[in-house]
Amino acid sequence: MLDIELIRNQFPALMQQVNDQALIYLDSAATTQKPQAVIDSITHYYSSQNANVHRGSHSLTAHATTQFEQARECVADYIGAQSSKEIIWTRGATEALNLIAQTYARSTLQVGDEILVSEMEHHANIVPWQIVAEQTGAKVVKVPMTANGEFDFDTFTTLLSEKTKIVALAQITNVTGCRQPIEQVIETAHQHGAVIVVDGAQGIVHESVNMQQLNADFYVFSGHKLYAPAGIGVLYGKLALLEAMPPWHGGGKMVSKVSFEGTTFSELPGKFEAGTPNVAGAIALKAAINWLQQFDQRAVEQHIHHLQQKTYNALSNIEDIQVLGYQANASVITFVMDGVHHQDIATLLDQQGIAVRAGHHCAHPLMDAFGVKGTVRISFGLYNTEEEVDLLIAAIEKAVDML
C-alpha cells in the first residue's frame, strides 16, 4: 500500500498556496514536482562537490567525474542498456531526438526515403524529422490514429515499404496518454529493415523499460518528467548505431586530438557530449531513479489510474464537457467544453489553486485530427489524491456554471 500523504510530504512545492488556495498540481505530464531527495542531491553537489568532469586532476574533479559516471551506470541499469556507453546525456528528449535526426538520419537518409511518424506525436518527435527530410530529400509520412484515438496499426503496415528507413513514435502520448503498440511496431518495422526511435518522455514515467527486451534502436527521455530536474535527458542508442554515427556538436570533450590539419573524435559516449555537461542534473537524475525505486511501480500506476478513472467518470456526467481520445489505464485526461475557450477554463481553475495545462500541448497535428484548437489536460503524478480529484471536479462544475 502506498502512503500518499507520506509521499506528498516529501514534495515541498506541493505545500504552497496558489491564489490563496492549497495548490492542486495536475500538470505532471508537463513536468513533475521534485522530491526532497532530488533537491538535496543538487544542493549537496553544489555545496560540496562542484567541479568540472573529465578534465583536470584535482580531487574534486575526480570525485565529480565518478559521481557523473555512476549516474550514467544507474540509467543504463534502469533501462536495461547493454553498456553505459549507450547512454548519452542530453538536455532532454527534444535534444536527443534532434541529435538522432542530425547524425544518424542526416548521414544515412537518401532522396525518396521515408520516415513514418505517428499523428499523435509531440512536436519534438515531428519537427526534427521534417528538418532532416528537407536536408536530405527524404519524406515524413504520417501514420494516422483510429477513430478511438489509437495508433492505426493496419494502416501502419500498409505504409511500410522498402523506402521506410525510420519509424518514430512515442511509447505513451502526451495529450491523451495513449499507449502505442511499440513492441509490435518495432518487430514489424525491423522486418522491413527500418530503424525505430521511441520517444519515452511520457512512457518511462509510467512503465519500466528494458532495452534488451524492447529492442528499440533509439530511446529518449527527459529527466524532468521523471521527478528529476530540467536540463538533463537521455539518448539511448544501440552501440553499433552510435559508433557508426558522425558527431553532432563540436567542442571540448568530444575530441581525441585536435589540430588544424584534422580532428579525431572521442570514443562513446564522449563523442556526443561536447562542452561542459549538466553534472548536477545527471547526479540528480540518479537520485530521482533511486527515490522512485523504493515504490512498487504497479501500485503507483494503479493509484494514478484510479484517479484518472474517477476523474473521467465525473467529467462524463458534466453536460457540455467532452473528453477527447479517452484512454483507460492512463495518467492523463484531455477535454474540451462546448463554446468555451480551453484557456478560460484553465484560468478559472488556476484561480482556485488548481494547475492544469491548456493549449495545443505541442501537438498541432493531433489537435487538427480532433478538430480543435486546444484542450484542457489534467495529468496525475504519484503525489495526487482522491480529495484533489473531488476538489477539481467541484472547481470544474463551478467554472462550467460561470462560463
Ligand X SMILES: Cc1ncc(COP(=O)(O)O)c(C=O)c1O
Q: Which residues are catalytic?
A: 362
Task: Name the phi and psi angles at 213, rounded to 5.
Answer: -75, -40
Q: In terms of CB distance, is 118 or 352 closer to ligand X?
A: 118
Tell me whether residue 310 is exposed, middle or buried, using C-beta atoms within 10 angstroms of its C-beta: 0 to 12, 13 to 18, 19 or more: middle
Instruction: Identify residues 111-150 at the interface with ligand X (CB under 6 A).
Output: 122, 124-125
Q: Is 334 in the site for ligand X (CB under 6 A)?
A: no
Q: Is 92 in the site for ligand X (CB under 6 A)?
A: yes
Q: Is 93 in the site for ligand X (CB under 6 A)?
A: yes
**Measured distance CA(396)–CA(389) in Å, rounded:** 10
Q: Are 245 and 218 in contact (CB under 8 A)?
A: no
Count of residues near ligand X by CB under 6 A? 13
Q: From residue 11, how far is each of 80, 95, 208, 350 by CA, in Å?
A: 28, 28, 23, 20
Least distance from ligand X to the Cβ atom of residue 121, Å: 7
Instruction: Give the residue among 367, 330, 332 at the shortest CA–CA distance from 122.
Output: 367
Least distance from ligand X to the Cβ atom of residue 267, Å: 26
Q: Is 170 in the site for ligand X (CB under 6 A)?
A: yes
Binding mask 197-236 for ligand X (x = CB under 6 A): --x-xx-------------------x-x------------
Least distance from ligand X to the Cβ atom of residue 174, Å: 3
Which residue reads 535527458 in cell numbers?
Answer: 233
Least distance from ligand X to the Cβ atom of residue 92, Å: 3
Task: Name the phi and psi angles at 151, rounded to 5.
Answer: -60, 130
Q: In terms of CB distance, is 222 or 327 closer to ligand X?
A: 222
Q: Are 167 and 140 in contact (CB under 8 A)?
A: no
Q: In terms of CB distance, is 45 or 219 closer to ligand X?
A: 219
**Interface with ligand X (CB under 6 A):** 92-94, 122, 124-125, 170, 174, 199, 201-202, 222, 224
